[in-house]
Amino acid sequence: MAKTYDYDLFVIGAGSGGVRAARVSAAHGARVAIAEEFRVGGTCVIRGCVPKKLLIYGAHFAEDLQDARRFGWDVPDCKFDWPVLRDNVLAEVERLEGIYGEILERNEVEVIHQRATVSGVNEVTLADGTKVSAGTILIATGAWPMIPDVPGAEHGITSNEVFNLDTIPKRAVIAGGGYIANEFAGIFHQLKSDVTIVNRGDRILRHYDEQVRDRLLQISLTKGIKFLFNAPFEKIEKKAEGGLVIHLAGQDPIEADLLLWAVGRVPRTPGLGLEEAGVKLGKNGAIEVDEDNQSSVPSIYAIGDVTDRVQLTPVAIREGHAFADTIFGGKPTRVDYENIPSAVFSHPPIAGVGMTEAEARERLGSVKIYTSDFRAMKNVLAGRNERALYKLVVDGENEKVVGIHMIGPDAPEILQSAAIAVKAGLTKPQFDDTVAIHPTMAEELVLMR
């Protein structure tokens, strides 16, 4: 006789990926429970991309209000009230958390508001000591902000805490050169902070196309954001009267009111009991899985940031859905990781899909590059010299567009549609054959010659 368990599936972690896997598995008829020690919704909804995007919208009004005067609006000097924006964002997060809970309830997924750890290949132990069994265990605990091993590092905060600040700092130092660092640099700068990005390396956004990331650096410097490269942290001191003194190798000390650590995220596996259960972990504690999200233990699977494959919410959701369809839906499905679009909601935003120019030259040899370097119509009338840059990377052998990279207003919104063309393998002549919508910024994608 087949062994019976308390649940067919037990999910640890109720973020975007875990929730999708749980509800779809339940819809396929599985008996599902999901455990979450903090709040349903995970990093993206509670303390990640959703509240951050709302802060970006709020910060962008600083320039919008200035630009409005050039368009004929009599805009008085406006006062910004941080607690109003903060509290409205947190209220929206709470609303979304409720929606996630309702989705699980409608699909008859049992939600357990406790920490859960793996105590056997088919067993989970809850924080209150209760042990439950499951035919399949899915780990979807995501990733956690990394804090470097530097004396005084505890005086800084991470993206987990930044949404609950009492006040906007007058002087903000942001450690890191990735998307979180550049996005919060834009937010704080627009809200009148003096911002310095400190990076131990020599470049920002190293996975993005070089021309695009260089354009962001130029624009950010013009706006007044400062950058220090090749500057490792030595120690952080907290002053008795408040504020921080940040010591860097080869640099003068910096005084700041806030230090934000944005130096990367590591898979959240410590203390889960995975190694004791026989689950193989890779670098940074990431769970090693195969193409079907299965770990080295046949009954234990993992999806999302905890696997450290592609740390993007939409990827975690795809993986969760594929897992559910494969294991409980009788529809074997695997995620295609080629040509995943991504964006940085910096100021201005950048977006890209496919190969960068450097990657294409290394992999393909024969490459054609098309660019459009222009000022958006709105910026022209507003008197802003800020220029957008669009770039097509084309395979010289077959004219296939293998990469699109952009910086400028609404770049992520435009790229979402353009990414379909790259995924579909469309060619540069097909782009050229498409009639432009005029006047738009997006028309530049089909006008490059």
**DSSP structural state of residue 437:** P
Burial of 361 (0-12, 13-18, 19+ CB in 10 A): middle
**Side chain identity, residue 309:** R
Q: Is residue 233 part of a domain?
A: yes
**333 lies in some domain:** no
Whether the pLDDT of residue 403 is over 80: the answer is yes
The residues carrying an active-site annotation are 438
Same domain (yes/no): 185, 220: yes
Is 368 annotated in some ligand binding site? no
Which tokens belong to 385?
A: 């010299």
315 and 394 in a single domain? The answer is: no
Is residue 264 a known part of a binding site?
Answer: yes
Last residue of a domain, one of 243, 263, 283: 263
Q: Are residues 127 and 233 in the same domain?
A: no
pLDDT of residue 49: 93
Task: Using the predicted structure, report yes or no on whether residue 149 has a pLDDT greater than 70.
Answer: yes
* Amino acid at site 271: G
Whether residues 437 and 353 share a domain: the answer is yes
110 forms beta bridges with: 33
Please name the residue that has the structure tokens 């942001």: 174
What pLDDT was estimated at residue 8? 97
List, in order, residues 6 or more apart from 245 with CB less than 8 Å away. Answer: 236, 237, 239, 253, 254, 255
Does residue 377 surpass a pLDDT of 70? yes
pLDDT exceeds cutoff 70 at 426 = yes
Residues 131 and 40 in one domain: yes
Q: Residue 44: which of 180, 244, 190 has the closest Cα? A: 180
130 exposure class (CB count in 10 Å sphere: 0-12, 13-18, 19+): exposed
Please say whether the beta carbons of 315 and 309 come within 8 A. yes
Q: Is 179 labelled a binding residue?
A: yes
Banded model confidence at residue 202, pLDDT cuts 50, 70, 90: very high
Residues 319, 352 share a domain: no
* 77 annotated as ligand-binding: no
**129 is an annotated ligand-binding site residue:** no
Is residue 337 in a domain?
A: no
Residue 340 located in a structural domain: no
In a domain, 341, yes or no: no
C-alpha distances in Å from residue 62, one per residue of 65, 72, 83, 170: 6, 17, 16, 16
* Residue 420 reports pLDDT greater than 60: yes
181 annotated binding-site participant? yes
Are 99 and 11 within one domain? Answer: yes
* Segments forming the whole domain that contains residue 378: 348-446
Q: What is the mean pLDDT of the chain?
A: 96
Position 332 in a domain: no
d(CA 284, CA 209): 26
CATH of the domain at 389: 3.30.390.30
Confidence (pLDDT) at 268:
96
Q: What CATH number should be reported for the domain holding residue 72?
A: 3.50.50.60
Distance CA(441)–CA(179), nearest Å, equals 23
Was 378 annotated as part of a binding site? no
Q: Is position 180 annotated in a ligand binding site? A: yes
Q: 263, 278, 302: which is the final residue of a domain? A: 263
Residue 161 contacts by C-beta under 8 Å, 6 or more apart in sequence? none
pLDDT digits (tens, 9 = 90+) for 284-299: 999 999 999 999 999 9
Please report whether residue 2 resides in a domain: no
Distance CA 91, CA 101 (A): 16
Q: Clarify whether residues 135 and 28 are in a common domain.
A: yes
**22 lies in the same domain as 50:** yes
Tell me the two tokens of residue 136: 């399949």
Average pLDDT, integer, range 300-317 = 96
Per-residue pLDDT band for 2 (boundaries 50, 70, 90) equals low
Report, as an integer, the average pLDDT of 376-392: 96
Within a 10 A sphere around the Cβ of 340, how many other Cβ atoms? 17
For the chain, the domain total comes to 3
285 labeled part of a ligand binding site: no
| Co-location of 210 and 198 in the same domain | yes
